[in-house]
Chains A and B, each alone.
Chain A
Amino acid sequence: MPAVSKGDGMRGLAVFISDIRNCKSKEAEVKRINKELANIRSKFKGDKALDGYSKKKYVCKLLFIFLLGHDIDFGHMEAVNLLSSNKYTEKQIGYLFISVLVNSNSDLIRLINNAIRNDLASRNPTFMNLALHCIANVGSREMAEAFVSDIPRILVAGETMDSVKQSAALCLLRLNRTSPDLVPMGEWTARVVHLLNDQHLGVVTAATSLITTLAQKSPEDFKTSVVLAVARLSRIVTSAAIDLQDYTYYFVAAPWLSVKLLRLLQCYPPPEDAALRSRLTECLETILNKVQEPPKSKKVQHSNAKNAVLFEAIALIIHHDSEPNLLVRACNQLGQFLQHRETNLRYLALESMCLLASSEFSHEAVKTHIETVINALKTERDVSVRQRAVDLLYAMCDRSNSKQIVAEMLSYLETADYSIREEIVLKVAILAEKYAVDYTWYVDTILNLIRIAGDYVSEEVWYRVIQIVINRDDVQGYAAKTVFEALQAPACHENLVKVGGYILGEFGNLIAGDPRSSPLVQFNLLHSKFHLCSVPTRALLLSAYIKFINLFPEVKGTIQDVLRSDSQLRNADVELQQRAVEYLRLSCIASTDILATVLEEMPPFPERESSILAKLKKKKGSSKLPDLDDVRRSVNGSTDHAENTEATETSVSNTVLAFSLYRTEPTGIITLPCDDDFRFVCKNNGVIYENQLLQIGLKSEYRQNLGRMYVFYGNKTSTQFLSFSSAVTSSDILKTHILQTVDPMIEGGAQVQQILNIECLSDFSDAPVLSIQFRYGGTLQNIAVKLPVMLNKFFQPTEMTSQDFFQRWKQLGAPRQEVQKIFKAQHQMDSDVAKAKLLGFGVALLDGVDPNPANFVGAGIVHSKTTQVGCLLRLEPNTQAQMYRLTLRTSKDSVSQRLCELLSDQF
């Protein structure tokens, strides 16, 4: 048994620990432990009452056994008994046991809380501290409920000892983290802020931690802490004269407190008060200056503490992002650290520079270090440092250096550690897309990625390259040529076969003119890979083959032979077999026209956030990534994307949809009509949206500036929709809100109704958007529909005499009040239909006003909450020329304009 220097511990415990250490095998250890457990159990159950010391010793043994990794199911009661002991060490062991092994047994919690309450009331600072520690260690909701009102009182009471104040502050902080709703804000907040002025630096440190956490949640309540924090920081940092005694750590003045204060200031924007701001700037400059001074000690603790303060100051400078001078100084300092001999400093410099790279003031300064960072990628021995270098290259990448950075990352990828390959692949894919000026570079980069690190190229990456190629017709020919060449390699990654199969199936015709890549050559090349691939890839290749039949009738026979072979038609895999059978039938019976329709080129993909970016964000947590929002804009594509190509023949619809599985992401389909639905200008009821799953119908009625809309959601399938929810987004001038929410589950075949209220405050042109989300099968469906609410819905028809009409017509003669449009008729020019449309538009038709009976004249008032706009219109058909002339006069030019747009599209 080793000599124990202090603590005159428990000899029985030491003997036991010694025994355990001497056990030669796991079995022996278990045996020894079971013997001990039996002994302790018998002692606890025995008739003889145990004295405090024995109880303490046995509880401590149980704790030791638990910490070795064994289960403990008794002894809790004895530990609770120890809490009420008068002997400090017994109490201490009791609390330790409770903290480590707390059990949600409610009887015990009540007893524990009693003991804690007694100790908190004891006025003995050591006991109070033990109790506060126990609350902080356990931190359960029951404890929070029991003590959350006592602790602030202890914290701000004048007579509380400093050490208890410190514990109370951190205990409160802990409870605020676990049960923020229970911690009341109140009159004590102001007094807590004043603890920043306390004499005792330990109290200030603990209080700063508490205030920082509280200020993150309710910054307004703790705004006054900024002034005090700057003052305190300034006293520590700038005045060398103050002796901080034991709070100086290796010649650095109160590093913990300094860092906490700098952290607190990061909860707020730069101070607006000029004097305060310059005082803070002075502090930050002093911290930056101190790093250049010769060190006061050679110990690493000295430089660590000093640099800890420096890095926190840099974090504050970056957070404020307002002083170009400080930002550039920070960047230069970090630049020095990039070549420091301490690995830790190189690591942290790379990490902090990532943040600096996103500031407009320092982005250029960060870029000057590119060579050093690339060098770090090549020479650092430590993978975690290399990873930070990759992060920084990603953050500093822009149009000017993207080619260099992507090339360096690709070459690093060849030797990179397996643990970070996937992340690098994602980053390269994102940068290549974001900064692609010509997309041939993008295609080359992604194919290189697959070549170098195919196993780490996730589905998202190769889906994305296909999306981009399909959306950009300028790159399709190049992509086809490049994948064709890449597939020539004797061994190529399966991901390349997938991309190759898809792209040649769509765009193989673009390179078929060259005899070296004739249809047959293309097909043979793809088919040579077929047998080495997994089932999903083979399924994709089969779809590529049927597309070939459509693109190149000359290889039809060859491909039909392949489909007809036993290995396809009788394949054990159901999916492959079905595809082979259906494709073969399709190619035999369908006419060229039908084939061409069914197997038409894929339509462009709708724009959405890059799925790769989403994946990287998920991998990294959301905080660290610079916003790469404009990724979305870099791909050109059509704005409206209909449902997946619908098959004309039901027999193939399954497989065609299955084929589309390879290109849609699992997140579902988003449909957003970009134009107003002109069908609903003159009518109020009907179906506004329909796909294979869902039908949305509506009925609406309007009176003056108010409207009510009944929306019907019909489930067209036989399965339930789950988690169904709907929401409306509208502008401030057209208030739209949902009266009641719909039940989240819609049964198959069922229809549910929802009511919307609409209020028009002023004239508008943007319609509200109804977004619907639900789960069908495994996938989440998102649908967004513009609701047909147009300005003319708020029309009130006005009858008037011919005399009145012409008088008003003249009054509205100002040039901008009149809008006129001459347009070609889109439908047959039928007078009754036109009349019905005008009435549906909302105006009153005035007979006998216009001298020409073929012309239509109408009048009405558009109601909004703020104004009422009178409106006169005249529609003159010219049946010979199949033209109309529409003239609108209103008192407000924007209204004239809008009404003319709406109405002219109806004829």
Chain B
Amino acid sequence: MLRFLLLFSRQGKLRLQKWFTPLSDREKKKVIRDMMMLVLPRLPRTCNFLHWKDLKIVYKRYASLYFCAGLEDQDNELLALEVLHRYVELLDKYFGNVCELDIIFNFEKAYFILDEFLMGGEILETSRFAVGVSMEEADTLQETMEEYMSKPAY
């Protein structure tokens, strides 16, 4: 089971945080700080796995973003690496060649896509096809462009 998933930039800006077990704000801040301190200084082509306290840390860098997951002791590191990859693929599919800005400006979508894919830290749906379908469905439920344009912007 995943305990948490963090997305942060090379500059140490947190872009997405998902916690699968309840933690206090203080604990969360500590985890975030520790992860950045552990992961950011690592050289390219080193291994993607670390031990941190009683957790296994699996991380991978995609362009300017680090994807970093905390796993429980009996979890499979290689497969967690593919969980991260599958998430990137889903973001890619949705945004079309996703970049950091997409995630900044559509952070809520990044959370929704994650929710389609993981639940309670376990894999919910591994089929890219099935996840895609439910995101499409959600979008058709969204207002039409016209409806949107008629709303006043702030």
Chain A interface residues (CB < 8 Å from chain B): 2, 4-9, 11-12, 14-18, 21, 39, 53-54, 57, 60, 63-64, 67, 87-89, 92-93, 96, 126, 129, 132-133, 136, 139-140, 163, 166-167, 170-171, 173-174, 177-178, 201-202, 205-206, 209, 245-247, 249, 254-257, 259, 263, 266, 301, 304-305, 307-308, 311-312, 315, 343-344, 346-348, 381-382, 384-385, 387, 621, 623
Contacts and interface: CB of A to CB of B under 8 A. Distances in A.
B40 interface: no
Given A54-B151, A87-B141, 12 more contacts: A6-B109, A9-B106, A16-B154, A53-B143, A206-B122, A209-B123, A304-B79, A308-B79, A344-B47, A344-B78, A384-B47, A621-B73
A174 B76 contact: no
Contacts of B154: 11-12, 15-16, 39, 57
Contacts of A63: 108
Nearest to B132: A246
A89 B142 CA distance: 6
Given A2-B105, A93-B108, A249-B82, A126 B95 contact: no
Given A96-B112, A171-B120, A381 B127 contact: no
B108 to A, nearest CB: 6
B11 interface: no
A163 B125 contact: yes
A12 B130 CA distance: 31
A621 B54 contact: yes
Nearest to B118: A170
Given A88-B138, A139-B22, A344-B48, A8 B78 contact: no
Nearest to B29: A69
A-B pairs, 8 with minimum CB distance: A12-B154, A174-B120, A88-B141, A308-B78, A246-B127, A308-B79, A343-B47, A382-B46
Specify which of B77, B127, B139 lies most central, judged by the most chain A CB atoms within 10 Å of its CB.
Answer: B127
Contact of A173 (B79, B82, B122, B143): B122
Nearest to B98: A5
B74 interface: yes
B6 to A, nearest CB: 12
Contacts of A167: 119, 124
Nearest to B127: A246
A382 B106 contact: no
B137 A126 contact: yes
Nearest to A203: B125
A54 B154 CA distance: 9
A170 B145 contact: no
8 contacts: A7-B106, A89-B141, A89-B143, A96-B112, A126-B137, A173-B122, A381-B46, A621-B54
A5 B143 contact: no
Contacts of B81: 304, 344
A4 B82 contact: no
Interface string B61-91: 0000000000001101111011001100000
Interface string B22-61: 1000000000000000000011011111110010000000
B124 A206 contact: yes
A307 B78 contact: yes
Given A5-B96, A67-B17, A246-B127, A163 B78 contact: no
Contacts of A64: 107
A178 B21 CA distance: 8
A621 B51 CA distance: 12
Given A246-B129, A347-B49, A5 B74 contact: no
A202 B127 contact: yes
Contact of B138 (A14, A60, A89, A315): A89
Contacts of A67: 14, 17, 107
A462 B123 CA distance: 48
Looking at chain A's contact residues, the main secondary structure is: helix
Contact of A312 (B76, B112, B139): B76
Given A89-B141, A209-B122, A344 B130 contact: no
Given A5-B102, A301-B85, A259 B76 contact: yes
A245 B49 CA distance: 30
Interface of B: 1, 14, 17, 21-22, 42-43, 45-51, 54, 73-74, 76-79, 81-82, 85-86, 94-96, 101-102, 104-109, 111-112, 115, 119-130, 134, 137-139, 141-143, 145, 148, 151, 153-154
B50 A163 contact: no
Contacts of B139: 6-7
B108 A2 contact: no
B82 A255 contact: yes
Given A259-B76, A348-B49, A8 B54 contact: no
Contacts of B124: 166-167, 170, 202, 206
Contacts of B48: 343-344
A59 B104 CA distance: 17
A384 B49 contact: yes
Specify which of A129, A344, A346 lies most central, judged by the most chain B CB atoms within 10 Å of its CB.
Answer: A344
B27 to A, nearest CB: 15
A112 to B, nearest CB: 16
B151 to A, nearest CB: 5
B126 A247 contact: yes
Contacts of B142: 7-8, 88-89
B142 to A, nearest CB: 5
Contact of B126 (A170, A202, A304): A202
Given A16-B154, A305-B78, A171 B119 contact: yes
B9 to A, nearest CB: 12
Contacts of B111: 96
Nearest to A244: B127
Nearest to B58: A344
A60 B108 contact: yes
Contacts of A166: 119, 124-125
A163 B130 contact: yes
A8 B148 contact: yes
Contacts of B107: 64, 67
B122 A384 contact: no
Contacts of A387: 51
B82 A305 contact: yes
A133 B134 CA distance: 14
A344 B134 contact: no
Contacts of B45: 343
Nearest to B140: A88
A96 B141 contact: no
B141 A304 contact: no
A315 B137 CA distance: 40
B59 to A, nearest CB: 11
A728 B42 CA distance: 54
A21 B125 contact: no
A357 B137 CA distance: 51
A24 B43 CA distance: 30
Nearest to A178: B22
A98 B94 CA distance: 24
B105 A6 contact: no
A11 B46 contact: no
A311 B78 contact: yes
Nearest to B73: A623
B141 A382 contact: no
B41 to A, nearest CB: 11
A14 B111 CA distance: 16
B79 A255 contact: yes
A133 B143 contact: no
A278 to B, nearest CB: 26
Contacts of A245: 127, 129
A92 B107 CA distance: 13
Nearest to A21: B104
A92 B86 CA distance: 23
A9 B105 contact: yes
A348 B145 CA distance: 50
A721 to B, nearest CB: 34
A263 B112 contact: no
A18 B49 CA distance: 35
A344 B82 CA distance: 13
Contacts of B125: 163, 166, 202, 205
